[in-house]
Amino acid sequence: MHIAFASSTGESVDQHFGWSKTFHLYRVDEESAELLKVIDSSEEPEEEKAKLAYKIDTIKEADIMYCTQIGPTASKMVQSSGIHPVRVKEGEGIESAISELQEMLKGKPPIWLLRIAHKSKQRSL
């Protein structure tokens, strides 16, 4: 799975989705996590819907996106693009978020995570 984290530091989730200037994209499975790239999303348009569409396009490779806040319109747009938004409290460590996901995958994952993992595996075949 590909996971995008709205982060200014690369260490913790500390950004609102719509205001984030960078996303850190990881490839995550049950056993490993690898930083694929840091995405610059700072060249955003002024108009709100165009700005949200731009942000979503920058993270289009992601299956899941972690952020501290996301508005209802943005959340609907992110979900309709096939990305699952996850809100966490500001300062949540990226490594701990990845570890939690990996533990869920190893145990009895919730149905939403099973769907995402299955979709991700199908895409990589």
Quick one: which of 17, 22, 13 has its CA closest to 53? Answer: 17
pLDDT score recorded for residue 98:
97
Can you give the residue ranges of every domain in the chain?
Answer: 2-119
Quick one: which of 1, 3, 9, 2 has its CA closest to 93? Answer: 9
Quick one: which of 91, 40, 36, 98 has its CA closest to 67? Answer: 91
Residue for token pair 């530091």: 9
State whether CATH 3.30.420.40 applies to domain 2-119.
no
- Take residue 109 and report the two structure tokens written for it: 């994952």
A 10 A CB-CB count for 82 gives: 12
Question: Quick check: pTM over 0.75?
Answer: yes
41-88: per-residue pLDDT in tens?
A: 999 888 988 999 999 999 999 999 999 999 999 999 999 999 999 999
pLDDT score recorded for residue 125:
66
